[in-house]
Amino acid sequence: MNASLMSLFIFGGLGLILLELIVGVQTGFDLVLLGSTMVVGGLVGGFFQNDSVGIITTIVLSIVYIFIGRKIIKEKLNTKSYKTNVDDLVGKTGTVVKIIKSGKAGQVKIGSEVWRAEAEGEIEVDTKVKVLDVEGVSLKVVRL
């Protein structure tokens, strides 16, 4: 048995894990998982005092990861995203929930969200409005 080979696997695997942390998980955890297979392979080889067992363990775990684990990890990492850009509100309609007065902002509800809104002139509560523009944190609306 070559203890230095198994040590190389363990420290090489730890190096890959550390590299993944340094680059900010941009590789999708590939380096963490491949590094982990090397660490486990090195530990197993060291436990059995057999380089071949350590190498085979690393190869088998790497193949399992590449063909099965990677797909599962990618699915877990891919989260559904929703547009949060307020510019997407332009053209949408909503209902005034807090009166909008000339020079004083009110509130409008668009979908399930309430937004700060301004308008030319006064618009009463429960009036339907359309979003014309977004300026800063306020929606510019007009009565429908």
Structure tokens at 101: 């007065």
Tell me the residue type at 20: E
Q: Is 126 helix (H, G, I), strand (E, B) or coil?
A: coil
Q: Sort residue 96 into left (φ over 0), alpha (ψ -120 to 50) or beta.
A: beta
Rg value, the chain, Cα: 29
- What is the structure's pLDDT at 30? 85
What residues have CB less than 8 Å from 108, skipping those under 6 apart? Answer: 94, 95, 96, 97, 100, 114, 115, 117, 129, 131, 139, 141
Domain locations in the chain as residue ranges: 3-77, 86-143
Are the CB atoms for 97 and 108 separated by under 8 Å? yes
Q: Which CATH number fits domain 86-143: 2.40.50.140, 3.40.190.10, 3.30.365.10, 1.10.260.40?
A: 2.40.50.140
- What is the structure's pLDDT at 117? 96
Q: Name the nearest CA neighbour of 111 among 128, 95, 130.
A: 95
- What is the structure's pLDDT at 137? 84
- What is the structure's pLDDT at 79? 63
- What is the structure's pLDDT at 102? 86
pLDDT tens per residue, the chain (144 residues)?
567 899 999 999 999 999 998 887 677 778 888 999 999 999 999 999 999 999 999 999 999 998 888 888 777 776 665 555 777 889 999 999 999 998 899 999 999 999 999 999 999 999 999 999 998 889 999 999
